[in-house]
A and B are shown apart, each in its own frame.
Chain A
Amino acid sequence: MVNVLLNDLLLNKKNSLKKFLVAYFYGISFLSLSQPLKIKNNESGILSLGVRTTVSLFNDSETGNFGTGAGGQFRIQLAERVNTDWFFDYLTADVKEIANRTDYHIGWSVLFYPYLKEKQLFKPYILAGHCFDYTHIVENSNRTNFAERWSSAVQMGIGTHINLTQRLDFTVMGQYMIHLGNEIHPEVVNNQLVYTNNHNHGASLEGHLLINLGIHYKIIDLWGGK
């Protein structure tokens, strides 16, 4: 059947052949993902891809509402005990029921595994890293009334991978992230949202606790545990 199709494509449609070959090799690639990952020495060099969902508690902010987010990340493991997360998060939250807030996080963390053994279900870690962020606050009933800022942040936290299979893990993590950027201080004055700034230089610190739940799949051993 495949031969007939291939002959037909070879004879008649060069463009279709290209599409077929691309689809074929993609298919082969995906099939290989279901195979056990060949790890040469240790887990150094493993590239993982994943998605994550986030709960954000803006507990240092005037916009102290509960936020939720979604994002993705990839991991590159540098040594048996050291991994790195490279992530992007998109978070939304209400501001005093009259506005909403959107945060974009892009950053990285170094993960250290203090406790290792063979075939462990729970693989706990501690982490620290850096992040760059963009925040946008806009009034619900007046989209032209908004404030925005760029900020940078440092974060520290703890978490654990739950290894469901050799290649698949579920990750639970809590991290405290502290942002340095221009202050956005939304206040309701005469039933309108206004943005005030109490700081002379306009800068402020804003910390929040992030709870992340993620699922990751190990794709390839990039340098074979060297």
Chain B
Amino acid sequence: MGRQIILFSILLNCFTFVAQKTKNASNDNYFRPGLIKASATITTGRMLQNKANSIYLNGFLEYVVDENYSFRGEIFQFIDAKYSGSSSFTNPNYMNRIYFGGFRHFGKNNFKIATGAQMGVLMADYDHTSYERQFYVAPSFALKLGADYYVWDYFHFFANLSYVNSTIRGTQTGKHKIDEILFSAGLGFQINTEK
């Protein structure tokens, strides 16, 4: 978890530094109402109670409705995890997280800090025993902090840190709390639908 926060902090500082250097250099403001953003990237996570390091593929689609607000849908597809000896929920056959929510964007020009909340579900298929396999849908929510730097009409760099809360209930061993800190960063794509 510490590593993800450090990585996010480094990227945030880099974006801030670069944005300050370029704030007067470009008159183009790429972030404006009507913008559609999307990307897919690799996400690393730390399961807080389950003591495991997870790997997800993460994709999002976002629409900017106002100068400061946007809606965003997002999916995290679980790939694998490295578990510790104290992990109680291990090796799901299938797991993903789906979220939708709103974001507030702060900052001028093309460098934006965004915070948001998303509601969603965690879906997991899990073998409790060798003969019992069950599918669970657990309500979940996500709190996010992100930094975006829009560099052109069609590209932006991004870094996001998310806290996701979820509890799988009704398993043979009781409930499993699977809160995670997720970190993702990379190259995003966007198009402006309004002039």
Question: Among A112, A116, A156, A205, which residue has its beta carbon within 8 angstroms of that of B11?
Answer: A156
Residue of A with least CB distance to B184: A154
A78 CB–B CB distance under 8 Å: yes
Contact yes or no, A110 B55, CB < 8 A: no
Shortest Cβ gap from B43 to chain A (Å): 10
In the complex, A201 has a CB within 8 A of chain B? yes
Q: Size of chain B's interface in residues, with CB distance under 8 A?
A: 28
* Contact, CB under 8 Å: A81 / B42: no
Answer yes or no: A194 CB below 8 A from chain B CBs.
no
Bound Cα distance A126, B41 (Å): 18
Given A126-B14, A126-B18, A154-B42, A180-B185 contact (CB < 8 Å): no
Contact mask B55-91 → A, CB, 8 Å, 1/0? 1010000000000000000000001111000000011
| Complex: A151 Cα to B187 Cα, angstroms | 18
- CB-CB < 8 A to B157: which residues of A? 112, 126, 128, 156
The answer to whether B44 has its CB under 8 Å from any CB of chain A is yes
Residues from chain A with a CB closer than 8 A to the CB of B81 are 199
Cα(A128)–Cα(B57), bound, Å: 17
Say yes or no: is B25 at the interface (Cβ < 8 Å to chain A): yes
Looking at the assembled complex, report how far the CB atom of A61 sits from the nearest CB atom of chain B, in whole angstroms: 14
Number of interface residues of A (CB under 8 A): 29
Q: How far is the CA of A110 from the CA of B26 in the complex (A)?
A: 18
- Chain A 97-131: CB-based contact to B (< 8 A → 1; otherwise 0): 00000000000011010111000000000101110
Convert B10-38 into 0s and 1s, putting 1 for each residue whose CB lies closer than 8 angstroms to a CB of A. Answer: 01001000110110011000000000000
Chain B residues with Cβ below 8 Å from A158 are: 14
CB contact under 8 A between A198 and B82, given known A154-B41, A180-B55: yes
Instruction: Tell me whether A110 and B151 are in contact (CB under 8 A).
Output: yes
Residue of B nearest to A203 (CB): B80
Q: Which of A32-60 contact B (CB under 8 A)?
A: none
Interface string of A186-223 (1 = CB under 8 A from B): 00000000000011111111000000000000000000
Interface assignment of B135: CB less than 8 Å from any CB of chain A: no
A142 CB → nearest B CB, Å: 29
User: Which of chain A's residues 76-104 have a Cβ closer than 8 Å to chain B?
Assistant: 78-79, 81-82
